[in-house]
Chain A
């Protein structure tokens, strides 16, 4: 479950203190509620603050004001140590650029987060690889894989430690239309099967349409899109 109340984030300008007080509010009293196991997509113009929202929710950035509760973690109050623990155990992140660890093979990349969190479940990892269609590539170097295959490895990595929430920032931004569709469907179906909450930032209407709820971000706030608008 994700619960966001009155979230404010100002963009740092050349003068840091002024930015905190008088800077431009990229997120302005934002409100959001996603139930456990549900998925949501966020769309919006470039620079509207979508990625900043993901950074705030994943504890990579600090809010100026507001409440951030992710899987019962009130992360707006957390210090760095607790945020590290939160990221290690509670969430998974999928990046646009995949960001796999090139020195490790497919299986080691996927198992990395689970081993780090101390809850390695080989059966679960095997299932993930089967579901994502990468079981045959487990011993391959990730640099040898295509973009679509790499992103499937990244999704498996994000889910390997059984996180309560997954954040995905433009996960299909680097993929062609066909691959994009396949990867998106896998991401949504896997999260749904594991009862994992998914918040996804995307420019693609097709990908956004796969989510249970779709939001549009403008002027630092989220607006829920009706199903008819979403389809269009």
Chain B
């Protein structure tokens, strides 16, 4: 019995391959998108964990300063605290420092990350049996790529803050890590006499509560470590948005799967009814159907994983560059073969296919039991409106109150589902209106509108997929365009000078002196990491000097500004903060921030909140004189601080000549146009992957709608024949059929427009704020949206027209089945 059914099913699939092929193709696309993103995210996660595993601790807290004194802790204070806490018996506390710096190997400079750790403390913590597991007390450990360049007589030196010191160790060990890293002992590092504060003290302990109490007793300020500092936390928003895009693609593909399943079942029902008449039990038919569908899902998932793996290989370099540009997190994404995730993806695909098939199978089972399936009624239409409003209400609550990224993504999902329900209400409503309006027109137009509703019912899942893909496309495109436009505008305002020179303090000051002598105006920017107090609590923030001249203040793009904000800034009574700082610590214009200056506290008003796109850090802008008052001495400020200098001259040749004379490289000299170009290129690269996923999803949905329409055309071929037999001309019929499909596609596209724009609003005003703590004005590029909508409609009409022309080109007699 089983073999007979299987043989008949195989024969049917061979005879009617399109629903099966479309089903496999949709599962393939779903699995490909999901596996590519999961492979990339997994590879990145492993890489972050490997980076963290250099220090085999689970960091919990870091010391950021003290409560009663707003000054950052000095080296001496850190050391005193470290001695105290270890003396108190907390062996789990380990001092740790991380610096991004330059390593010179036989004269070649390399950008590296130096990890200095209290090796002895670490050794006792990791295992009593294995003292100094990394051998750091006597050995410097370097990553594989650096180890490959070294030999016994290699001279290596570290450069930090213009100080270059030779590393005295002769013993070297290679770590498993593939990044450019150097690992050494903190005490040995301190002996190098590099003027640095320990920037972290890391805790990893089950006695965290006791340590927190210890800190409170000594009025020490601490902050969670993992919230801000681990690469996993820093890049979480990026990986989540990548995963969200792949889930949208998965969802769209499974709408297509459901659509293909409906067509598949419709094709099979006649044969299965015959099986029932032959006495084959309903359960056997249903089980074998499920096995067959699971097999198709398996085939699709395996091909999809292969394609996803290929895509991951192709995208890995681009992702690594993006993560480095956007978050400053180095990631190699070297290990891209992740066999353990293949099995869950296959299982998800099979399970999702079977769940998707449950409704059509149930309907079929009812038919096989001679139970009439429920038909669509006006109640279903009003239900769709009710669900649409309900889901839109939930989405609105999410927009107003969601504070976590996962909640915001759930809001986005609610919004899209609300759109789908709205679409199901719109089809019959609009078409009924068109039918009523067209009643007095020609009979063919009237029939065109009436029949469009029949097609809409049969293709609504494909339409839902098209809707989600188009709304997501409109939302993402509007968000990215708004972001790009805001960034470009911001950069054009912010880049006031004709040239910029980046470098360390020494080089910049040398260049400044020379340019001053030549009468060329320069403007250097100083940066300190300062600890600020607000009524909500204290926080460390990058604090920059900013010129109080009208030219520079006009160049500052602000989200909010107090009415007399510029005057207060000029009068040294106010400061600017970036959006990241405002959103992260709940600050607004008019708030007061305090900082310790010598023996007194200086209070400054937040006069404006400025845009600072692409910066993961919080930032405060102060007039230079005010910044210098907050530090100990001008020299200390200088030694910390200058990162960039604006040069107000257009003479590029002369500038390069001066740099040559000073023996400095041209590489760090950027013209305004070049800097703008580099920044926007980095921006575009950031969104290239999500854009690609977005476009693929839209194309998949468009072609699913086309296939759905073509299959329906095929099934309704008889109606075409009848219309021709009563005198409807070929061209009238073709125009009518294309008109029906375009009405459906147009309603879908028009519905996608407001939901796409609502999605863009959520992405700009909510997702960006929660994920990156910045917001920008929403600018709608109607031309781009119109282009996406028209292109989708043109593709749909071209393919359907071609198919309809082909289907109507045969003999008229063959199109009309007068008998069955």
Contact = CB atoms under 8 A, between A and B. Distances in A.
B722 interface: yes
A108 B722 CA distance: 15
Contact of A112 (B447, B718, B811, B816): B447
Contact of B819 (A89, A102, A113, A169): A169
A201 B307 CA distance: 58
Nearest to B451: A103
B456 to A, nearest CB: 11
A117 B444 CA distance: 11
B816 A84 contact: no
Contacts of A51: 818-819
A103 B722 contact: no
Most buried by B among A80, A93, A99: A99
Contacts of A81: 729
A103 B443 contact: no
B434 to A, nearest CB: 12
B818 A169 contact: yes
A99 B813 contact: no
A28 interface: no
Contacts of B810: none
B599 interface: no
B318 interface: no
Given A61-B812, A104-B446, A173-B819, A89 B727 contact: yes
A116 B819 contact: no
B719 A101 contact: yes
A203 B403 CA distance: 76
A173 B718 CA distance: 18
Interface in B773-820: 811-813, 816-820
Contact of B442 (A93, A99, A115, A169): A115
A103 B447 contact: yes
Interface string A86-119: 1111001101110101111000100111011100
Contacts of A149: none
A112 B447 CA distance: 9
Contacts of A93: 725-726
A206 B812 CA distance: 32
Contact of B813 (A60, A92, A103, A111): A60
A96 B818 CA distance: 6
B728 interface: yes
A108 B728 CA distance: 16
Contacts of B813: 55, 60-61
B443 A111 contact: yes
B729 A108 contact: no
A196 interface: no
B97 interface: no
Given A103-B447, A103-B450, A111-B443, A95 B722 contact: yes
B351 interface: no
A87 B442 contact: no
Interface residues of B, number: 28
Interface in B680-733: 718-719, 722-730
Nearest to B730: A80
Given A60-B813, A96-B819, A103-B450, A84 B729 contact: yes
A85 interface: yes
Contacts of A55: 813, 816, 818
B360 to A, nearest CB: 21
A99 B812 CA distance: 16
B190 interface: no
B453 interface: yes
Contacts of B450: 101, 103-104, 108
Contacts of B730: 80, 84
B35 to A, nearest CB: 43
B449 to A, nearest CB: 9
Contacts of A58: 725
Interface string A10-27: 000000000000000000
A103 B44 CA distance: 55
A93 B818 CA distance: 10
A99 B718 contact: yes
Which of B446, B718, B719, B812 is most buried by chain A, counting CB atoms within 10 A of its CB? B812
Contacts, number: 89
B282 to A, nearest CB: 26
Contacts of A102: 454
Given A51-B819, A103-B450, A115-B443, A87 B722 contact: no
B196 to A, nearest CB: 79
A103 B819 CA distance: 21
A116 B718 contact: no
B436 to A, nearest CB: 12
A60 B812 contact: yes
A47 B163 CA distance: 101
Given A55-B813, A115-B442, A173-B819, A87 B447 contact: no
A116 B727 contact: yes
A173 B722 CA distance: 18
Nearest to B431: A103
Contact of A97 (B446, B451, B818): B818
B740 to A, nearest CB: 10
Nearest to A54: B818
Given A60-B812, A103-B451, A87 B819 contact: no
A86 B453 CA distance: 31
A42 B820 CA distance: 19
Nearest to A108: B446
Interface centre among A60, A96, A103, by most B CB within 10 Å?
A103
Given A96-B818, A103-B447, A61 B811 contact: yes
A85 B817 CA distance: 21
B503 to A, nearest CB: 74
Residue of A84, A97, A102, A169 with most partner-chain B CB within 10 A: A84
A169 B451 CA distance: 26
A170 B819 contact: yes
Contact of A85 (B454, B727, B811): B727
Nearest to A97: B820
A9 to B, nearest CB: 11
Contacts of A99: 718-719, 722, 818
A112 B819 contact: no
A116 B441 CA distance: 11
Contacts of B451: 101, 103
B159 to A, nearest CB: 79
Interface in B727-777: 727-730
Contacts of B447: 101, 103-104, 112
Nearest to A158: B726
A5 to B, nearest CB: 21
B448 to A, nearest CB: 10
Interface in A26-64: 51, 54-55, 58, 60-61
Given A55-B813, A87-B726, A103 B454 contact: yes
A157 B725 CA distance: 12
A56 B442 CA distance: 28
Interface string B193-235: 0000000000000000000000000000000000000000000
A90 B730 CA distance: 18
A84 B732 CA distance: 11
Interface string A137-171: 00000000000000000000100000000000110
Contacts of A103: 447, 450-451, 453-454
Complex A-B, nearest 10 residue pairs according to Cβ-Cβ distance, in ascending order? A88-B727, A103-B450, A115-B443, A87-B727, A99-B722, A61-B813, A84-B729, A103-B451, A169-B818, A112-B443
12 contacts: A60-B812, A80-B730, A93-B725, A96-B818, A101-B719, A103-B453, A103-B454, A104-B446, A113-B727, A116-B726, A170-B818, A173-B819
Given A55-B818, A101-B719, 5 more contacts: A55-B813, A80-B730, A84-B727, A88-B728, A112-B726
Interface of A: 51, 54-55, 58, 60-61, 80-81, 84-89, 92-93, 95-97, 99, 101-104, 108, 111-113, 115-117, 157, 169-170, 173
Interface of B: 442-444, 446-447, 450-451, 453-454, 718-719, 722-730, 811-813, 816-820
